[in-house]
Structure 1
Amino acid sequence: MLKLQIPKNRLNYLIERMQQDFELSALERGWQYVHKGRVKDIELRHGMEIHAQAHGAELYEVILDLEQFAKSSCTCPKGKYCQHKAAVIFALYAPYARPEILLQQLKQAILVKSRQQQTRAATGSTKAEKKADRLETPQADQLPVQWQRFFDQQFYGYSLSQQNSIELFYHAAQDSLRPIASKWETSIRQLFELHVLLFVMRKVEQFISDSKASYLASYMDSGSKIIAKLCQEQLDLLLPQMDCKQIASGYPEALDETLVLLGELALNGSSSPMQWLVVYRSLWWKLEGQPKRLTKERKRLEQLATKASATNQTGKNEPSNRDSILMALAHFQVMEQRDEEARALLLPLAKKEARDFFLYLHRFYEEQQWERMLDWLRWLLPTIQRAQQEELRIFCTYWMEAVSRQPDDNEWVEVMVALLPRTYYFYTSYLMKSERFRSWVDLQISNRVSPIDLYSADLKLVEAKNPSLLLPLYHQAVERCIAEKNRNSYKLAMKYLKKLQAYYTKLGKPQIWDEYIYLLSTRYSRLRALQEELRKGKWIP
């Protein structure tokens, strides 16, 4: 249909304008124009202008400005956002994907936007009230619910696009909200900063929900994972510094309201890139010296768990938050160092993810509780086999720390072998550090790794220790090169043969080398190119 292909960021800008400015009827008619081949002569002029013709009742000239869409024009009498402009944008989209799919995505996005507007109108809040609320800057003596309401007001109507990205929202929220509490007393300021992060996480979830049916869905998915990681990094810095004892004594209502809000967010069972349960468990771990609050929360969780179990026994579908409740309840057992009981509570989990328990591994590492760490690592082992590579890396790193405090590493080695080939890099690194060079060479041979793909420093280290260990590695590499039967492979085989000759000479076994090269040339006597390379190396006459 079209050979012209504009940059993806410019196309996304046009799509955003379609979603924000065009009526659905104009979009549908625009797609019909493209479908019937009524868009012609599309070309890029002046670097930032698309010129095209749309054949309707008459022939209309369309100009799209790729930087400032408001400057775009069409010779039809319909207005700024006519079906002819929409048709040209659909035609520009065609080299990337099917325009009819984009139309369906835009329909869904417009529908979501309409529903949001209706919901906001139904609240009955006037614009004057909203403006007044925005002017009320949060105070240290206010409750967190008022802080959260202020946050919502500040970012009311905030929507995302390629230009107004999720990362920009994260930084905008941090830069505008955190300074509010800069002069507050330290403990309440830290609680306020926690609420800023909770707001960001909650708002990102809303963005994800609102964009599910739009063309931004995949973009939002990747962006939200980045924000989830940034929020977790900030929480890892903030929570250890929080003086929860001071907060509990000076601001008990604010703390209780925070716990209620976090409980609602963490235990609703919704799928989210935000690690709500990690935040929930981390904060409760900071409250070990608050027995009344701990007892109250445990009783609440037990009631929720009983209700979930009763629902299951009646034959109804299990509540979606059942796993969250069990993990929260088990956490209180972990806090009391009753790990076996905690893991027993976790047996009915519908889905066990390794990343949900790295919180414990990190805690045990900081407190040097190596046996507890090993017990949880063993429990997580079946889960790790299907974990993502980054989770596997974290798992292996913690186990290496734990095994260094053990009398032997047999269990660790068994685990690494059981998880091969995914653990190849961790295992090969460990073998090299522990100077198990024979096992290291055996691992390379079993994985058919060529010497050229190994670190030269590792090869030199093994060579210095015992060059005879490398002989089978280079012999295998020579055979594999010859099996490929091409000139480049034969030349690489010659490099390996030079290494072999050097090793045999160093080991004082030149006669074995002479026998090997004779047998090699005899066995492959019909490979003319190989014979030529052997003669160049002066290994055969």
Structure 2
Amino acid sequence: MLKLDKSLERTLEASLRENVTEAAVERGWNYYLNDRVMGVKLLSGDTLFASVRGSGEMYMVSLDAGQFKYSKCTCPVGGPCKHMAAAYFTYLAAAYSSEAAEEAHSRMLISNGRFEPEFGSDAGTPQAASFAGQAKPETNDPAGWLDWMEGKHGDVWKKCHHSLHALQPVLQTLKGAARDWDKPLQRLHWMLSVAFVLNQAEKAIHLADTFSRYYHEMSFIRMAEPWVEHYYTLSLELEPAEMGADELAWADFVKEYAKSRAVRPERMLFEWTYLYMAVCERMSELPEWRERELAAMELEAAGEGQEKNKTFIHTVIAMLHYFVREDREAIRHLEQAEFERIQSVAYPCASQRLEAGDWDAFGQWMAFLYRHVLPCRNSRQIASFVTLCRRADMEQPDNERWSRYMTDLLPYSYSELSEHWFQTEKYGDWADLQLLLGVRPDDLDIQDVKQVTKADPACLIPLYHQSVEEWIAARNRQGYRMAVKQLKKLERIYKTLKKTGVWDRYLHGLIRKHGRLRALQEELRKGKFIS
């Protein structure tokens, strides 16, 4: 069996320990012990895919070791659950040994590996008093204000060894400095304040040692979420057409501040690309502003010498074209970027064109996404892509392109595709999908099977035939009993369709084929299939 990289295994286990409750870990362990996990596979090097037999239903689990937030289970919990834990234990047993699974089970029940933020004296101490003595700038010059922020608060990041609590009062102090400003300029001051504090957090993360960095990053990102959301909210309130000279200068300064971080080639804690683009999207309402920024970014793309984040540069150029509906040019530039890093930009672009009913542009975006998703076979990429396909297929049911995209991505798209065909009442396609992937009728939701039996019973016949043969192939008494149980359901379908002659020929052929299996013959006799 293919194995995850060791570092990814440690990251995945840490994520499960952090997000799955101990009770769910225990239930997942019992699922593993009772062989309720089927077919664990490693996809695209960093994602485990498995099916887990729940309480009367089969659930599909994907565990993204690299970015756990993209992990998914189709169970009703809607988040980290026992099925994920069960899938991980099964993977360890298959890849290494049952002892490896037991060791992981023990580690996941020990809570001292979890990161708990420290609430020291810095967290509750107002910072304003310790920064007294430096006068605020007397002008509205954004560069002067940034210098003041750096002078008064530029070392606070050194106090963020375990959490960002020391930065919360800093942000409050900075925002308070502009409390009496006119609202439009105050909004931009606050955006710069948030960006400054986020940059302090970028510095602070380097205080973490290699072993605990992952926990620090997750903690920092969670704590900074309200700040980032506030920044985006403020950016949406920008009114470029009504801006005076001072506001335009501030908007350019905030944009350049975010850009100077986004253009760096090293990995950053926060998504500075989106902080930058939040300003660009609003300011691009001014044609001259957009043209000026586009020219500047094209110079950046053509420049040589200093190492830069080329993906960021091409993404920005692409979006500046997208804002004025130059989709082909936008896609051309995204082709020159790393898909892994731009897909969170590309999917919303496609979605907006779909919502606008621009099928030509939407088709261009989907073709671009399909070219990159197909070879990657990464579950988190496929989920977003298939969601778009499902929406398109609902609005264009006669266009086979969307169904073809989804089927091309099997088995990774199984869960979404199965649900889609069922909801759109394409029961024949739905049944063929179960048949293709070897899903038995008793593994499916009983209400779903009843609905299909009522609406289109004929499409279930091949599915029951396959299930009967698989249970017989188990070569044990329980398998034979299950085969007989499936035969009873199959018989009812044939009678409903008034094909008793076909049923009789099928049954007699089955009995002759397996005539040497004495235990099966006994079960058939108990089921009154043999007199």
* TM-score computed with the length of structure 2 as normaliser: 0.66
Structure 2 portions without partners, runs of 5+: 1-13, 15-105, 108-112, 114-126
- Judged with a 3 Å threshold, the aligned counterparts in structure 2 of structure 1 residues 365 and 410 are, in CA distance, closer, same or farther, namely closer
**Are the counterparts in 1 of residues 461 and 493 from structure 2 also a CA contact under 8 Å?**
yes
What is the SS of the residue equivalent to 2:529? coil
CA shift, 1:339, in A, is 2.1
1:334 aligns with 2:322: yes
- Judged with a 3 Å threshold, the aligned counterparts in structure 2 of structure 1 residues 466 and 303 are, in CA distance, closer, same or farther, namely closer
Match 1:377 to one of 363, 366, 378: 366
Give the RMSD, CA atoms, in angstroms: 3.9
Match 1:324 to one of 296, 302, 312: 312
CA shift, 1:441, in A, is 1.0
**Are the counterparts in 2 of residues 137 and 150 from structure 1 also a CA contact under 8 Å?**
no
User: Structure 2: which amino acid aligns with 1:384?
Assistant: V
Q: Distance in 1 between matches of 2:398 and 2:500?
A: 40
- Judged with a 3 Å threshold, the aligned counterparts in structure 2 of structure 1 residues 471 and 259 are, in CA distance, closer, same or farther, namely same
- In structure 2, the partner of 1:145 is 146
What is the SS of the residue equivalent to 1:270? coil
- In structure 1, the partner of 2:399 is 409
- In structure 1, the partner of 2:120 is none
User: Structure 1: which amino acid aligns with 2:345?
Assistant: D
**Are the counterparts in 1 of residues 178 and 186 from structure 2 also a CA contact under 8 Å?**
yes
User: Structure 2: which amino acid aligns with 1:486?
Assistant: N
| Structure 1 residues 107-506: aligned runs within 5 Å | 131-133=130-132, 141=140, 143=142, 145=146, 148-149=149-150, 152-153=153-154, 155-161=156-162, 164=163, 185-211=182-208, 213-223=209-219, 226=222, 237-248=233-244, 251-272=247-268, 274-308=270-304, 311=305, 319-349=307-337, 353=341, 354-365=343-354, 367-385=356-374, 386=376, 388-406=378-396, 408-506=398-496
What is the SS of the residue equivalent to 1:215? coil
- Judged with a 3 Å threshold, the aligned counterparts in structure 2 of structure 1 residues 302 and 450 are, in CA distance, closer, same or farther, namely same
1:360-385 Cα deviation digits (max 9, x unpaired): 23443554444323311211212223
CA shift, 1:140, in A, is 10
Q: Distance in 2 between matches of 1:469 and 1:336?
A: 48
User: Percent of aligned pairs with the same residue?
Assistant: 24
User: Structure 1: which amino acid aligns with 2:270?
Assistant: M
* TM-score computed with the length of structure 1 as normaliser: 0.64
Q: Distance in 2 between matches of 1:269 and 1:538?
A: 73
- Judged with a 3 Å threshold, the aligned counterparts in structure 2 of structure 1 residues 398 and 537 are, in CA distance, closer, same or farther, namely same
What is the SS of the residue equivalent to 1:391? helix
1:85-119 Cα deviation digits (max 9, x unpaired): xxxxxxxxxx97xxxxx9xxxxxxxxxxxxxxxxx
- Judged with a 3 Å threshold, the aligned counterparts in structure 2 of structure 1 residues 237 and 524 are, in CA distance, closer, same or farther, namely farther
Q: Distance in 1 between matches of 2:227 and 2:383?
A: 21
- Judged with a 3 Å threshold, the aligned counterparts in structure 2 of structure 1 residues 468 and 178 are, in CA distance, closer, same or farther, namely farther
Q: Distance in 1 between matches of 2:489 and 2:226?
A: 49
Q: Distance in 2 between matches of 1:337 and 1:501?
A: 58
Q: Distance in 1 between matches of 2:131 and 2:224?
A: 32
- Judged with a 3 Å threshold, the aligned counterparts in structure 2 of structure 1 residues 467 and 174 are, in CA distance, closer, same or farther, namely farther
**Are the counterparts in 2 of residues 355 and 391 from structure 1 also a CA contact under 8 Å?**
no
1:500-523 Cα deviation digits (max 9, x unpaired): 121122222334334433332332
- Judged with a 3 Å threshold, the aligned counterparts in structure 2 of structure 1 residues 406 and 129 are, in CA distance, closer, same or farther, namely closer
Moved more, 531-540 or 475-484: 531-540
The number of residues matched between the two structures is: 407
Question: Which has the greater radius of gyration?
Answer: 1
User: Structure 1: which amino acid aligns with 2:487?
Assistant: L
- Judged with a 3 Å threshold, the aligned counterparts in structure 2 of structure 1 residues 358 and 526 are, in CA distance, closer, same or farther, namely same
**Are the counterparts in 2 of residues 384 and 392 from structure 1 also a CA contact under 8 Å?**
yes
CA shift, 1:208, in A, is 3.4
Bigger relative contact order (CA 8 A; separation at least 6): 2
What is the SS of the residue equivalent to 2:314? helix
CA shift, 1:190, in A, is 3.4
User: Structure 2: which amino acid aligns with 1:523?
Assistant: K
**Are the counterparts in 1 of residues 339 and 372 from structure 2 also a CA contact under 8 Å?**
no
Match 1:529 to one of 519, 523, 526: 519
Q: Distance in 1 between matches of 2:455 and 2:307?
A: 61
